[in-house]
Amino acid sequence: MASTDRLDQIENEALAALSAADSAVALQTWQGTYFGTKRSKGALDEAMSALGGLSKEERPAFGKRANEVKQVLTAALDARAQQVKEVELEASISAGAIDVTLPGVPPTRGRLHPSTLNLRRVKNIFARMGFEVYRSPEIETDEHNFGLLNMPDEHPARDMWDTFYLDQPGLVLRTHTSPGQIRSMRELGADGTQPVRVILPGMVYRYEQVTARSEMQFNQVEGIVVGRNITLADLKGVFVEFAKHMYGGKTQLRFRASYFPFTEPSVEIDVYWGTATERDRMITKGTGWLEIAGAGMIHPTVLRNGGYDPEQWSGFAFGMGPERAAMRLLGINDIRYFWQNDLRFLEQF
């Protein structure tokens, strides 16, 4: 066997093995096999050990050939390493790629609270009748919440509302939106010279037992109309119109004589609910009717407190519970659902 045959053999074998090596790990193994590692000799080193046994004449040709093989294999390794790198990159990209044909995962969207949706519904109905929205504060003075509404200090009617008093004397969490009557008359009435037609939506607070029909925090929508010839018939007309839009004309309304210190005469307005189940009777206190508003003709004292001359001006006012009204519309038989933040309830709207 010619002395360089073993080198040719190694070259052929190595090139074949190299084209089969298809990963960085396989290339490293290949390098160890032919070029050796720190700990073991490679095939080329082994072949070089034959040098010592060669004649003086044979040695230069063997050495030259050995260098050639080294160079060929080193260049081949570099080229192959580059290819393998590209293939591996390609594979990792396609493994992590997005399959645009898969169905998407819908993001969970926020939504409006049923109470907010309902307030908007109520506001829209009144807006069509020409009412504007007037904002008035949730922290009120005792004077606005009671005194100016014809309930001076020690007036027994104050007990109609169980009140949250603030640490600061003279301030309360409003128990109803009615104090906004005084504020809107004073601001919009321009010293009793201009008519007023607004609604006042917002939260009210009562230190009361929580039941299926009463919460201690809920919305009210106050309404007030002041003009030259306003009568109880106007109040009735507005409420009948409201019910027509709220309930699609199918729900019966009832006006029941009542008492409020700030109206004379006073009424309460009920919607028909029914008495079929135990729950119906509980919600309606056995009557089949659910109260949704208090209302009446504004008391002369209150008109005067708003800056008007009660000889010249008259008006009606109402305070509606929009959650109560919505219970009838949506068939919700427990008012506590509104503020419990139970998604099973909230997601239905």
- Told to check if 176 binds ligand DAH by CB under 6 A, we report yes
**Out of 34, 126, 239, 260, the residue judged to bind ligand DAH by CB under 6 A:** 260
Termini Cα distance of the chain? 92
What gap in Å lies between CA 30 and CA 35, rounded to an integer?
8
- Told to check if 295 binds ligand DAH by CB under 6 A, we report yes
The pair of three-digit structure tokens given for residue 252, joined into one six-digit string: 């019966």
Rg of the chain over Cα atoms, rounded to whole angstroms, equals 45
Q: Least distance in Å: CB of 286 to ligand DAH? A: 21
Q: Least distance in Å: CB of 271 to ligand DAH? A: 16
CB atoms within 10 A of CB 254: 15
**Out of 145, 263, 284, 305, the residue judged to bind ligand DAH by CB under 6 A:** 263
Place of tokens 């995962």: 105
Q: Least distance in Å: CB of 109 to ligand DAH? A: 36
Kindly determine how many residues on this chain lie close enough to bind ligand DAH according to the rule CB under 6 A.
12
CB atoms within 10 A of CB 172: 22
Binding mask 1-40 for ligand DAH (x = CB under 6 A): ----------------------------------------
- Told to check if 134 binds ligand DAH by CB under 6 A, we report no
Q: Least distance in Å: CB of 327 to ligand DAH? A: 17
- Told to check if 323 binds ligand DAH by CB under 6 A, we report no
Residue 322 three-state SS: helix
Phi-psi region of 271 (alpha: psi -120 to 50; beta: other; left: phi over 0): beta
The pair of three-digit structure tokens given for residue 344, joined into one six-digit string: 């099973």
- Told to check if 318 binds ligand DAH by CB under 6 A, we report yes
Phi, psi of 8 (to 5 degrees): -60, -40
Binding residues (CB under 6 A) for ligand DAH: these are 176, 178, 222, 260, 263, 266, 294-296, 317-319
